[in-house]
Amino acid sequence: MVDEKRETEINTRYNEAKSKLEASFKKVQDLTYVDMIEQQPNGSQNFKLNSGGGHTAGLMKTPLIAVAKTKFEKYSVMESHPHAEKEIIIVYSGSMTICSNNTKTKMNVGGVIEIDPQMEHAAFTENEECEFIAITIPANINFPEEKR
């Protein structure tokens, strides 16, 4: 009985903390990212880039993580921007260059990069398209919702 009561107490505290955490994530607004996207009727997003074009669609989204499938066209440039979340990018087709922390990193198929929260970063493609998975932890509230 004591163990059951203790487990219930722990679960209650965990759920309260989780709810507070989720509420704080929902308050985070990333206006820079919002300015760079154009919401589509199907829930996906087009990027408003300086050059070229891009599109992203949600694969999974919870308050703690967002996963999106993204494609940049040839000769696309996404201007420098930060966001509050850690971002992980995994390239699975083509290539692109990520610029962050005064470093240029060429990303080819299989390339993975982690971008820390609040770190300014930009991306560009050259003579080929690039398809990649973008993951934010916690979820960037502006990432597209998953399709159901």
Q: Which helix (H) or strand (E) holds 9?
A: helix 2-27
Question: Tell me, what CATH number does 56's domain have?
Answer: 2.60.120.10
pLDDT at site 34? 64
129 within domain boundaries: yes
Domain count, the chain: 1
Higher pLDDT, 24 or 62: 62
Contact at 8 Å (CB) between 107 and 130? yes
pLDDT (mean) for 41-59: 83
Q: Find, among 80, 102, 66, the residue nearest to 33 by Cα.
A: 80
First CA to last CA distance, the chain: 42
145 within domain boundaries: no
Nearest-Å Rg of the Cα atoms of the chain is: 18
111 within domain boundaries: yes
Mean pLDDT, the chain, rounded, equals 82
pLDDT digits (tens, 9 = 90+) for 72-116: 999 988 888 888 899 999 999 999 999 988 889 999 999 999 999
pLDDT digits (tens, 9 = 90+) for 4-29: 887 787 667 655 655 554 454 444 44
pLDDT at site 116? 95
10 within domain boundaries: yes
146 within domain boundaries: no
pTM: 0.74
Q: Are strands 45-47 and 37-39 parallel, antiparallel or unpaired?
A: antiparallel
142 within domain boundaries: no
CA distance 103 to 89: 16
Contact at 8 Å (CB) between 62 and 22? no
Range of the domain at 60: 2-137
Contact at 8 Å (CB) between 98 and 104? yes
68 within domain boundaries: yes
148 within domain boundaries: no
